[in-house]
Amino acid sequence: DAGVIQSPRHEVTEMGQEVTLRCKPISGHNSLFWYRQTMMRGLELLIYFNNNVPIDDSGMPEDRFSAKMPNASFSTLKIQPSEPRDSAVYFCASSFTGGTYNEQFFGPGTRLTVL
């Protein structure tokens, strides 16, 4: 299994630009999570989906952030417009919640730098 795939691995953009981060979960997993990690705030859960439906987006910091999961094998996290304080590493994780133990599998992350 290829694991959770995220793209791009690195993104450098200028303030005000739109940024789209992509995630492909592990095949067969039915929950998907987006996290943000910074030195100051640590690991933060932004939003999570179950069976492609957003369950809780209370962690999304502002309306500039949006996430979609159009099908079981793809999700996006969009920031529009981006700001320097959005610079962080963004992780996607997936899990199967159906008789297992909620173990999450993480992708390698996207390091976002907003200038």
Question: Mask 24-53, x = binds another protein (CB under 8 A)?
Answer: -------x-x--------xx-x--x-x---
Name the token pair of 22. 């992509």
DSSP annotation string for 45-103: EEEEEETTEEEE-TT--STTEEEEEEETTEEEEEESS--GGG-EEEEEEEE--SSS---
112 binding another protein? (CB under 8 A): no
If the CB atoms of residues 88 and 93 are measured against another protein, the closer one turns out to be 93
Task: In angstroms, give the least distance from the CB of 96 to another protein.
Answer: 8
Which phi and psi (to 5°) does residue 60 adopt?
-70, 125
Provide the binding-site residues for another protein, judged by CB under 8 A. Answer: 4, 31, 33, 42-43, 45, 48, 50, 55-56, 91, 93, 95-97, 101-109, 111
